[in-house]
């Protein structure tokens, strides 16, 4: 039975989620964390950091050709960011669903951006968009010893595994 549980746990994926400076300043940390927590995902790393501009450029390197890149990096490095890693079955893709579309004007009500943000340049939260970026972003923001592996008593109720 223990083996079965371990095998199941090994399937869990991890994603990088960050509350950007606007979300932190607006007092939305608890609101956003609670949406991931209540869903049934497990928090495995968390820290409050003010990224340097250089670090922000690394985080958003895929967007360096876009006209908003410089303003985006200035913004991300303008104040505290709450960096997190969340774990669970399908968390990368479903985390993006919880977050909603990039432009809050197009995010559905019920999503984080749909409920809590208005414009694309201040959309309060970041989430990895796929398995490769999740891995890349987790290792950019966290060292391996900051990722906490633990079993949660809720898991057997969330996943139905004994």
Q: Which residues are annotated as a binding site for ATP?
A: 20, 68, 96, 102, 113, 123
Q: Which is nearer to Mg ion, 37 or 129 (CB)?
A: 129
Alpha-carbon gap, residue 25 to 19, rounded angstroms: 10
Is residue 121 at the binding interface for ligand IDP, with CB under 6 A as the rule?
A: yes
Annotated active-site residue 8? The verdict is no
Q: Which is nearer to ligand IDP, 68 or 157 (CB)?
A: 68
Of the candidates 10, 8, 31, the one whose C-alpha atom is nearest the C-alpha of residue 19 is 31
**Whole-number minimum distance, CB 109 to Mg ion, in Å?**
22
Q: What is the largest CA-CA distance in the chain?
A: 54
Contact 17, 95 (CB under 8 A): yes
**Whole-number minimum distance, CB 112 to Mg ion, in Å?**
14
**Whole-number minimum distance, CB 25 to Mg ion, in Å?**
21
Alpha-carbon gap, residue 108 to 12, rounded angstroms: 27
Is residue 77 at the binding interface for ligand IDP, with CB under 6 A as the rule?
A: no
Which partner in ligand IDP, Mg ion, none is near 110 (CB below 5 to 8 A by kind)?
A: none
Interface with ligand IDP in residues 87-106 (CB under 6 A): 102
Contact 147, 85 (CB under 8 A): yes
Is residue 34 at the binding interface for ligand IDP, with CB under 6 A as the rule?
A: no
Is residue 130 at the binding interface for ligand IDP, with CB under 6 A as the rule?
A: no
Alpha-carbon gap, residue 57 to 24, rounded angstroms: 20
Give the β-pairing of 81-88 and 125-127. Answer: unpaired
How many residues form the binding site for ligand IDP (CB under 6 A)?
Answer: 9
Of the candidates 18, 45, 21, 44, the one whose C-alpha atom is nearest the C-alpha of residue 32 is 18
**Whole-number minimum distance, CB 23 to Mg ion, in Å?**
15
Q: So which residues are the catalytic ones?
A: 126
């Amino acid at each position: 039975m223990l083996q079965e549980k371990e095998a199941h746990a090994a399937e869990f994926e991890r994603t990088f989620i960050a509350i950007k400076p606007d979300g932190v300043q607006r007092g939305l940390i608890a609101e956003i964390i609670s949406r991931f927590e209540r869903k049934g995902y497990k928090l495995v790393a968390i820290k409050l950091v003010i990224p340097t501009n250089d670090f922000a450029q690394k985080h958003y390197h895929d967007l360096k050709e876009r006209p908003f890149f410089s303003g985006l990096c200035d913004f991300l490095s303008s104040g505290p960011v709450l960096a997190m890693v969340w774990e669970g079955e399908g968390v990368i893709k479903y985390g993006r669903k919880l977050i909603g579309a990039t432009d809050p004007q197009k995010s559905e009500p019920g999503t984080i951006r749909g409920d809590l943000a208005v414009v694309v340049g201040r959309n309060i939260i970041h989430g990895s968009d796929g398995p490769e970026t999740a891995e890349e972003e987790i290792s950019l923001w966290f060292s391996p010893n900051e990722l906490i592996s633990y079993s949660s008593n809720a898991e057997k109720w969330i996943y139905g595994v004994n």
